Amino acid sequence: MEWETVIGLEIHAQLATRSKIFSGSSTAFGAAPNTQANLVDLGYPGVLPVLNHEAVRMAVRFGLATGGTVARRSVFARKNYFYPDLPKGYQISQYELPVVQSGSLEIVLEDGTLKRVGITRAHLEEDAGKSLHEDFHGLSGIDLNRAGTPLLEIVSEPDMRSAKEAVAYMKKIHTLVRYLEICDGNMQEGSFRCDANVSVRPKGRKEFGTRAEIKNLNSFRFVERAINYEVGRQIDLIEGGGKVMQETRLYDPDRGETRSMRSKEEANDYRYFPDPDLLPLVIDEALIEAVRATLPELPDEKAARFVADHGLSAYDAGVLTASRELAGYYESVVTDLGGQHKLSANWVMGELSGALNRDGLEVAQSRVAAPTLAGLLARIGDDTISGKIAKEVFEAMWAEGKGADEIIDARGLRKITDTSAIEKAIDDVMAKSPQQLADYRSGKDKLFGFFVGQVMKATQGKANPAQLNELLKRKLSG
């Protein structure tokens, strides 16, 4: 039996507003428990919600950037259920009339082809607080700082057919929301969370199989592993004569498996109805056009431009544009150098990204700024140092916070272009290696490389390769 996997993702992106969606409390991460929870967030008797303008603008941004339809009129609805991190006993969300309807994204598959993934809808809602399960003598502690933070829930069509496609889509959304500056995408802090709806069906069948929902996946790696495990679990289950239950599951990264969420197993009747404390959200042309005017160049547009105007490969353009900051850094370097696109791309994707990852830094926190890197690359271009030496210089620049020239001079790393110095080094090597010299002169041409290596070693890599080659050829020939 050949099986097909069907995946839809629901992504919750915390919107990067300063204040909460329905109250004026701060959304800043990491505050002491319940110090950012006011009466509205706490669901006190008599309080009422008032909608944050910026949350609406951010939702519209997303809708426009994904080619979605921005609803001229959308409605907030109450989703009713009891849980300690949900102070009012209901979450204010959107149900029948969300702020963004339809839209799509293109993802690049492993074989390089493009695939369109549909977006069913995106809607605004408030986040819940947090339960801390550390023991307070058998009790849990509830922190409501997060309660009321604005979320944009982005629901995809069930268009993905593999875990890899799902991850590619998730990464694309992740990149996009950061480009749009509507979400910081910080998965460790919980600003970007993913639920995966997974089902299987025999290949060729039109109807969908029963799906299970895997909740709260907060890394790309986990999404891939959880989906793969779940697919395997469902197939084994069906092939063993069982049926997949429509249920909510959690991924256990330590065990590498998904398991059913015991406490939420009973079907929840959310009793959605329009929230009578909020009036319909009306979005007019003026607001839409005002937001449209602020849209940045989107990742796909930027990547296409890098390919067309800079001659980069699609792959390289994709890597560079995965982060708006990285792309910006690259462009800044290229602007300073007035070109050198491939060299710049390699260094930004290579040494720079490597150093950032190693030290756990964001592009904005780079210890080598773009103009400074450009300065280093210029020294490769003008032949002051070799590419190999440049890597050493870069490490020093990163560690010491100095510019290229300062390091080069301090360490005496300039390429030796003084031919007499090179000649001397060659003479020394020839003198020290009589056997190899004799062998070379009797026909063993391959030994040329040996001499190059020895001279480079003797000059600590600083010999100008072109000059070295020429001089060595002359001298070795006799």
Partner 1 sequence: MSLHTLTVAELAAGLRARRFSSLDLTLHFLGRIERLAPALNAFVTVTADHALADARAADELLARGEGGPLTGVPIAHKDIFCTDGVLTTCGSRMLSNFVAPYDATVVERWKASGTVLLGKTNMDEFAMGSSNETSWYGPVRNPWDPVRVPGGSSGGSAAAVAACLAPAASGTDTGGSIRQPAALTNLTGLKPTYGRVSRYGMIAFASSLDQAGVLTRSAEDAALFLTAMAGFDPRDSTSVDAPVPDYLAELSRPLKGLRVGVIREFFDKGLDVRVSQLVQDAIEALRAEGATVREVSLPALPLSVPTYYVVAPAECSSNLSRFDGVRFGHRCEAPRDLLDLYKRSRGEGFGDEVKRRIMTGTYVLSAGYYDAYYLKAQQVRQVIAADFARAFRDVDVVIGPTAPTPAFELGSKTSDPITMYLNDIYTIGANLAGLPAISVPCGFVQEGGRDLPVGLQLVGPHFAESLLLSVSHQYQQLTDWHRRLPEGYA
Partner 2 sequence: MSLTRAQVEGIAHLARLEISEAQLPVYVDRLSRIIDFVEQLSAADTGGVAPMAHPLADQAQRLRPDVVTETDRHEKYQQNAAAVAAGLYLVPKVID
The residues binding partner 2 (CB under 8 A) are 17-19, 23-26, 32-39, 42, 44, 50-56, 75-76, 82-84, 131-133, 135-136, 138-144, 250, 261-263, 269, 271, 274, 276, 278-282
Residue 281 or 416 having the CB closest to partner 1 = 281
Q: Are 259 and 230 in contact (CB under 8 A)?
A: no
* Stretch in the footprint of partner 1 (CB under 8 A) among 233-241, 268-276, 321-329, 386-394: 268-276
Torsion of CA 369, 373, 374, 379, to 10 degrees: 150
* CA 42 from centroid of its chain's CA atoms: 33
Residue 31 or 51 having the CB closest to partner 1 = 51
| Residue 447 to residues 73, 360, 367, 465, 478, Cα–Cα distance (Å) | 78, 44, 42, 16, 15
Question: Using the rule CB under 8 A, is 134 a contact of partner 1?
Answer: no
Residue 78 or 462 having the CB closest to partner 2 = 78
Residues 394-433 as x/- pattern, contact with partner 1 by CB under 8 A: ----------------------------------------
Residue 8 interacts with which of partner 1, partner 2, none, CB < 5 to 8 Å by class: none
107: three-class secondary structure by DSSP: strand
Q: Which of 171, 55, 49 is nearest to 106 (CA)?
A: 171
Which phi and psi angles does 457 have, rounded to 5°? -60, -45
Candidates 1, 82, 113, 338; binder of partner 1 (CB under 8 A) is 82
| CA dist., res. 107 & res. 68, Å (int) | 17
Residue 82 or 240 having the CB closest to partner 1 = 82
Residues 10-49 as x/- pattern, contact with partner 1 by CB under 8 A: -----------------------------x--xxxxxxxx
Residue 140 or 365 having the CB closest to partner 2 = 140
> Smallest distance, Å, CB 361 to partner 2?
28
Torsion of CA 212, 218, 222, 227, to 10 degrees: 20
Q: Which of residues 47-66 bind partner 1 (CB under 8 A)?
A: 47-51
Q: Are 70 and 60 in contact (CB under 8 A)?
A: yes
DSSP string, 342-374: HHHHHHIIIIIHHHHHHHT--GGG-SS-HHHHH
Residue 277 interacts with which of partner 2, partner 1, none, CB < 5 to 8 Å by class: partner 1
Say which amino acid occupies 56: V
Which phi and psi angles does 387 have, rounded to 5°? -60, -35
Residue 264 per-residue DSSP state: G
Residue 381 interacts with which of partner 1, partner 2, none, CB < 5 to 8 Å by class: none
> Smallest distance, Å, CB 265 to partner 2?
12
Residue 47 or 343 having the CB closest to partner 1 = 47
| CA dist., res. 103 & res. 122, Å (int) | 9
Residue 419 interacts with which of partner 1, partner 2, none, CB < 5 to 8 Å by class: none
Q: Which of 177, 254, 183 is nearest to 222 (CA)?
A: 254
What is the residue whose two structure tokens read 């003026």?
Answer: 286
Residue 141 or 318 having the CB closest to partner 2 = 141
* Stretch in the footprint of partner 1 (CB under 8 A) among 64-72, 202-210, 266-274, 336-344: 266-274
Q: Are 383 and 464 in contact (CB under 8 A)?
A: yes
Candidates 57, 61, 88, 462; binder of partner 1 (CB under 8 A) is 88
For the chain, what is the largest distance between any 2 Cα atoms, rounded to a whole number of angstroms?
Answer: 100
Residue 148 or 375 having the CB closest to partner 2 = 148
| CA dist., res. 190 & res. 138, Å (int) | 26
Q: Which of residues 168-197 bind partner 1 (CB under 8 A)?
A: none
Q: Are 159 and 149 in contact (CB under 8 A)?
A: no
Strand partners, 91: 79
Candidates 12, 20, 61, 78; binder of partner 1 (CB under 8 A) is 78
Residue 108 interacts with which of partner 2, partner 1, none, CB < 5 to 8 Å by class: none
| CA dist., res. 178 & res. 58, Å (int) | 11
Residue 140 or 313 having the CB closest to partner 2 = 140
Residue 90 interacts with which of partner 2, partner 1, none, CB < 5 to 8 Å by class: partner 1
Residue 2 or 135 having the CB closest to partner 2 = 135
Residue 263 per-residue DSSP state: G
Enumerate binding residues for partner 1 (CB under 8 A): 39, 42-51, 78, 80, 82, 84, 87-90, 142, 269, 271-273, 276-279
